[in-house]
Chain A
Amino acid sequence: MNYKTFTAGLCTLACLTTQAGESQLTDNTPTLTALTHATLILAPGSELSNATLLLENNRIKAILPENNIPQNAFEINLSGLRIYPGFIDPYAEYGIELPQNSAKAQPPVYNIKRIGGNAANGAIHAEKEWFSKVYPDPKAAENWMNNGFTSVQSAHLDGIFQGTAVTLSLADKKANEIIYNARGKQFMAFNKGSSPQDYPTSLMGSIALIRQTFSDARWYNDSLAKVKDYPDDVKAPDFNIALERLRNIKEQGVIFNSGNLNSELRAAKLLKQQGLKVQLLGSGEEYARISELAAYHPQLILPLNFPAAPDVSNETAAANVTLSELRHWERAPANPVAVAAANIPFALTQHGIEANAFWPRLKMAVAAGLTEKQALTALTTQAAELAGIANVAGKLAPGYMADLVITQGNPFVDGKIVSVWLQGKEHALRPKSYRWHGDYKLRFAQMELDLSLTMPDSTADKSRGSFISGDKELAITAIDADEQRLNFTSDLSSAGLPGISRFTLWRDNEGIRGRLLLADGKVEPVNGQIVAMPTPATAHETPKDVNYLGHQVTPIQAFGVDSLPVTEKLHIQNATVWTSAAAGILQHTDVLIANGKIERIGQQLATPSHYQVIDANGKYLTAGIIDEHSHIAINGGVNEGSEAVTAEVRIGDVIDPNAIAIYRSLAGGVTTANLLHGSANPIGGQAQVIQLRWGETAEGLKFKEANKGIKFALGENVKQSNWGENYNKRFPQSRMGVQTLFTDTFNAALDYDARRQEYAELRSRDKRKTLEPRPDYRMETVAEVVKGERDVHIHSYVQSEILMFMRLAEAYDFKVKTFTHVLEGYKVAPELAAHGAGASTFADWWAYKFEVYDAIPQNACLLQQHGVLTSINSDDNEMQRRLNQEAAKSIKYCNMSAEDAWKMVTINPAKQLGVDDVTGSIEVGKQADLVLWDHNPLSAYAKTEAVWINGKRYFDRQQDAQKTQAIAEEREALIQKVLHSSEERKRGEQSALEQEPMWHCDTEYNAWNRQKEHAL
């Protein structure tokens, strides 16, 4: 042994001896403790002043209003202080001990390595019970304790089904002692988190997976019940613990983290559909669609994620700030106020922000009008309910946990938390001397002076103070304090006491007492009282910061509306009416509109009473434009491009009613659009037809009368031709394989359908003894297609694939509704016509990829000449607003008649979407979806003047001009407000309002890391 290791060894021994020993003796120290003379906030709105809280062990033993404490209790005098129930954060990740992460797999990952009898998808951990991983983490606990929290509901926040949360105390004790509720809520999110599996890449994929998983759980547990009842007849399904653990999900409840307001509403709808209570982690944007949200009767956990002020410091930065960001910055602190006003119960959480931002933000909310009672409810009783611990925490009551918050002053205004008590043990947050912080009135030597003391929050800062005598301020020095005693000196010669006076003060139940040592050595008694602390300020009843400059419109962004348009009664006079119907183009014609419908068409009609007249002389009236192929107004990805078949995903789940594209396209005369899944896989997702009712909710945009549709795709995109080197594994990689994949999937769907049918037809006695075929939304949707109950819109380019798919459909005895893009449709126009398929094409796109090298701008003409129902689509946010011009190109390239060209963007696509009996032409009885143009609508010089949907004017050119002006003014006003605001008011979270890219068919986007993955 050399010298070095010898000394090191010594040191180890020495270090050991300085540590606390592992005592083997019984600890019988009495724990009865009386916190006396305090103001007790028993529960929100229930206060008891000058009272005692009696604690024993880790619980509250009694509330004693008179301070008559048992003689064996140890007294701690808390006069001037307030005791709140400990706060509860119902949404946290705390005290969960995790194994080391394994290395991440390289994408694409179609199947995961499944260890154990768990779920098939890597984002589903429903079986996890996080109590089994609880281990206290004193360092992390401080994040919550510093704000007055004493317990949290916690889970590892990862994945879609995240497992059962545990509610635990923040105390540094054995795991068994700190668990308050071992089985809390199931935590859920749309974000798939760290799952290496590709599926789901999109928001709609996540929603579909959740829907399928809930269904699987019902099926699995029902099946297990059958097995139990009829063990001889029913074979058990494959073991799956994730599904088993979801058996009692209704009783257990879910807390859903959705990410933003749109998704919050989606989560609410999804939970409601599953018959679950709607309990959501809030987005902080609730105010923007509060009544829509309130209709779900949700309970919320609100984060205080107020945004930082947008950077408007220079012109360029300011130019790129959106009105929605400015409005959100201004309005976010009042979000809890809006939630409270809508009578939505809510708790608060620290989630999503830095711990030290919590109280400043909460005070901003209080300043914006949140009452103290509402705030306290959110921190205590409501949080306790959501965390499943309302029987032990959230109130000061006998039998409840001794989890307390001790404050000096009112914490919702200017008070401070001095300590928290966790299970009967104090954890100080401020130096003991902080008790002296405040204002006092002192009497000594025949004078009365006011003393003001500023005591430090932490030991690092210095104490300060002064006497006030009239308008004079006399400094005090050498301040030295502990909890009960305070020493200082002061030169009071100007007040008539020569030399330096030395004070010693202490506090008791009556107030302040002490003595003063004068310069000549004489002692004078001092007495006095506390002025500022026992009566803490209460929160302002009328908030200060309510002069909002931002307009509260829907959606909460530029061009949002104050209110939805009303159904008009109109007499449109003397227009050139392009009917898109047998009547053709009518000159000098009147149209009457009422009840959302076209009532009459004729010449020189009389104006019925209460009809508004529009003089349309020299103007053109047409039906609203319809786009068969659009990807506007979609959130979280347009492709669930992970697997080759994803028929279960629904565009209808991810409609974005905030999309400015709705308004812009509306201004271009578009009233109806078919929102399609992208073209990343042969069988994509379900389509959603919308009407461009700007200002409506996501549900309100849906065109209920439209046929059910689905997007299929062929060619380069689905065989991953342009996805990059990593993407050459997924079948199919050739057009041959595409055919096989369809055939195989159709067979599987038919087989599925037959098995389901067979089961459905069983007598109920036999059903009880028979294993139900697992409901599979993917197969169910494909079966709908094969049975002709769901229209196919199939992305296609070259003639081989078009023919292939037509023949395949014929073999399965269904009709292809529409080939979309279909740029080589002209080569097989007779076959398309014979099959009865529609075609929806680009006017003149070509040469951007190899499969469109034979595309020609005469395609539409040739298709039409052969009798194919032909339309022009956009697949593009910009082109959508000029579809009238795109239609005109067929006049240029191949002499189509103006009437036929116009039909390609109105009645023809209406037929392709199954809405031709409702819209698409100007005929009596049809929905009044109308556009008024200032020129021939096919001209590049034409502008819309007004656009109606269902007789409601959703766009008006003049109103648009006014709005444009108002937007500019409001922006400037809000920018000034930002510039004038304090640094404190400017601080906040990075804006979560980041824009998603514009979608095309071939946008492959990972909704979870917000990256475009690759081009298709």
Chain B
Amino acid sequence: MNIIQRTLFLTLLSTCCSTAFAYDMVPAAKPQAATLLKNATVHTVLNGTLPHTDLLLENGKIKAIGSHLTDASATVVDLTDKHVYPGLIALDTTLGLTEISMVRSTNDTSDVGDDNPQLLAAAAYNPDSELLPTVRANGITHAQSTPRGDGLAGQSVLVNLDAWTIEDATHAATAQYHLYWPELPRVYADSERTKKAAEAYQQAVKRIKQHFNAAYRYQLSITGKPHQKEDIRWQALEPLFKGNGKLFVHADQQQAIEEAAALARQYQLPLVIVGGYDAWRLADMLNELHAAVIYTHCLDLPERTDDPIAQAFKIPGLLKKVGIPFAIGFSDDWDSRNLPLAAAQTVAWGLTQEEALKAITYDAAQLLGANGLGAIVEGYDASLVVSDGDILDPMTSKIDALYIDGRQVDLNNRHRQLYQKYLKR
């Protein structure tokens, strides 16, 4: 162990065992020197798994990948017997928007109405949330912080999970508009209730269609007439109509997905289905639209009593089979730290480990239009995770280090602090 390595080791040790409070977990500064990670098993995602491989990180990017790399000025870290993965990307979370879901004052996830495309998650995102350090401790470097609600609920933002402010946290990505498709009506024993539910659904769908119609008229009008009075809602949709954004429709059942797809087709909007339980049944329709899916039910029960008992686990394998591009999400706040487990769950049911990993890294980044993220490729962001074992399986996954844009992030968090504190009791 050379001196630099020893220093680094001690640094790691001290951060890991400090009993400071969360606000003492200081966002890592940009390193002065390059970092050279030596002799790791590198899971590149795009180019297979490379044993005994070195990575050189410089200026926040992966500068080189190879064996026996050298750089005299670099901080060298020996990663023998360790695994390096690209940082995991948690899609469809409410991280930074909620702290304790049952304490109303800590919730900034949704607002009133179903015509709120102008709402920006970025305006409410709390980079000091106590939840964030617990999530990144599981290897998650980035998250899609997503508004909830009815109908058009607002725009999500892709953030890195170690930042001073939202501006520091924001990662470049396409504009992300969220549309929550109304829940399909259920059939109740009481036929009056069934009828009302059906009517409510029709009404909600009608309103959504009206919103898109209004937004479309607005887009026509601002191109034709310079003095159109601004409508904050439809103005916010301009990038989407111009093809510079994506419409994320939260829908699971076939009918809802079909209706959403028809809407996307009508206005030629790039479409992503979030949830997507039935999406695999609609390959022709979705592939024709070049739509993608964020599948979020890896750790769920089957949607229907008669479904195969492992249906929720099998769906990513089915999506693969029918050729629909997809990523895996785990829609939650604190629980989004279980994203790697969600991906692992598909491995016994149709995906390979590599495919499962890709679904929570590269595929997730691509889906958000975040280029240069989610794989270990020269020139890509140096956002990486170092693990003792297989990162997907909780039995083996032990996160040793995390890099975001080349900065080594403090892995301490509220849980470790309390753990350390009570170890002393």
Contacts and interface: CB of A to CB of B under 8 A. Distances in A.
Given A862-B422, A960-B309, A892 B415 contact: no
A464 interface: no
A991 B190 CA distance: 9
A667 B313 CA distance: 13
Report the interface size class on chain B.
35 or more
B17 interface: no
A847 B425 contact: no
A889 interface: yes
A311 B418 CA distance: 55
Contact of A990 (B191, B344, B345, B398): B191
Contacts of A889: 394
Residue of A320, A879, A891, A992 most packed against chain B (CB within 10 A) = A320
A938 interface: yes
A943 B348 contact: yes
Contacts of B194: 990
A850 B418 contact: no
Interface string A847-871: 1111001101110001000000000
Contacts of A943: 348
Residue of A316, A889, A941 most packed against chain B (CB within 10 A) = A941
A317 to B, nearest CB: 9
A889 B393 CA distance: 9
Main secondary structure of the interface of B (DSSP, over half): loop
A967 B302 CA distance: 15
Contacts of A845: 335
Interface in A817-855: 826-827, 829-830, 844-850, 853-854
B140 interface: no
A849 B102 contact: yes
Given A315-B254, A830-B425, A964-B308, A992 B333 contact: no
A801 B253 CA distance: 44
A844 B338 contact: yes
B197 interface: no
Nearest to B310: A667
Interface in B365-401: 392-398
B389 to A, nearest CB: 9
Contacts of A518: none
Contact of A939 (B103, B306, B395, B416): B395
A846 B422 contact: no
A558 B188 CA distance: 20
Contact of B187 (A320, A663, A879): A320
A991 B187 contact: yes
A101 B346 CA distance: 58
B81 interface: no
Contacts of B393: 888, 939-941
B398 A892 contact: yes
A858 B253 contact: no
B419 A894 contact: yes
B54 interface: no
Given A322-B304, A967-B306, A882 B189 contact: no
Interface string A887-930: 01101111000100000000000000000000000000000000
A559 B425 contact: no
Nearest to A865: B423
B299 interface: yes
Nearest to B305: A322
A858 B100 contact: no
B300 interface: yes
Contacts of A849: 100-103
Interface in B320-374: 333-335, 337-338, 341, 344-345, 347-348
Contacts of B414: 856
Contact of A862 (B334, B347, B396, B419): B419
Interface in A976-1016: 990-995, 998, 1010, 1015
Contacts of A664: 301-302, 309
A841 B414 CA distance: 19
B190 A990 contact: yes
Residue of B99, B100, B395, B416 most packed against chain A (CB within 10 A) = B395
A992 B341 CA distance: 38
B184 interface: yes
Interface in A379-402: none
Contacts of A882: 299, 345
A983 to B, nearest CB: 17
A156 B43 CA distance: 73
A856 B338 CA distance: 14
Contacts of A311: 187
A938 B389 CA distance: 14
Interface string B182-209: 0010011111001000000000000000
B255 interface: yes
Interface string B206-248: 0000000000000000000000000000000000000000000
Contacts of A1010: 188-189
Given A847-B99, A941-B344, A663 B394 contact: no
A942 interface: yes
Residue of A829, A857, A960 most packed against chain B (CB within 10 A) = A857
Given A877-B301, A885-B341, A891 B394 contact: yes
B131 interface: yes
B298 to A, nearest CB: 10
A964 to B, nearest CB: 5
Interface string A958-975: 001000100100010000
A959 to B, nearest CB: 12
A994 to B, nearest CB: 4
A847 B254 contact: no
A717 to B, nearest CB: 11
Given A940-B341, A940-B392, A848 B305 contact: no
B344 A940 contact: yes
Nearest to A854: B418
Nearest to B191: A990
Contacts of B415: 846, 856-858, 893
B387 to A, nearest CB: 10
A320 B304 contact: yes
A862 B422 CA distance: 8
Interface in A290-331: 311, 315-316, 319-320, 322-324
A826 B101 contact: no
A16 B93 CA distance: 78
Nearest to B188: A994
Given A885-B341, A994-B189, A827 B334 contact: no
Nearest to A1009: B190
Interface in A623-669: 660, 663-664, 667
A888 B134 CA distance: 18
Contacts of B306: 322-323, 557-558, 967, 971
Interface string B281-309: 00000000000000000011110111011
Nearest to B420: A858
Contacts of B102: 722, 848-850, 1015
Given A319-B254, A862-B422, A994-B189, A941 B100 contact: no
Given A558-B305, A856-B414, 9 more contacts: A315-B254, A322-B305, A845-B335, A847-B131, A854-B418, A858-B418, A939-B395, A940-B394, A990-B187
Instruction: List the 6 closest A-B pairs by CB distance, nearest first.
Output: A940-B344, A316-B255, A849-B102, A847-B334, A558-B306, A856-B415
Interface of B: 99-103, 130-131, 134, 184, 187-191, 194, 253-255, 278, 299-302, 304-306, 308-310, 333-335, 337-338, 341, 344-345, 347-348, 392-398, 414-416, 418-419, 422-423, 425
10 contacts: A319-B304, A558-B305, A722-B102, A829-B425, A844-B337, A849-B101, A862-B422, A935-B348, A936-B395, A940-B393
Interface of A: 311, 315-316, 319-320, 322-324, 557-559, 660, 663-664, 667, 722, 826-827, 829-830, 844-850, 853-854, 856-858, 862, 877-879, 882, 885, 888-889, 891-894, 898, 935-936, 938-943, 960, 964, 967, 971, 990-995, 998, 1010, 1015
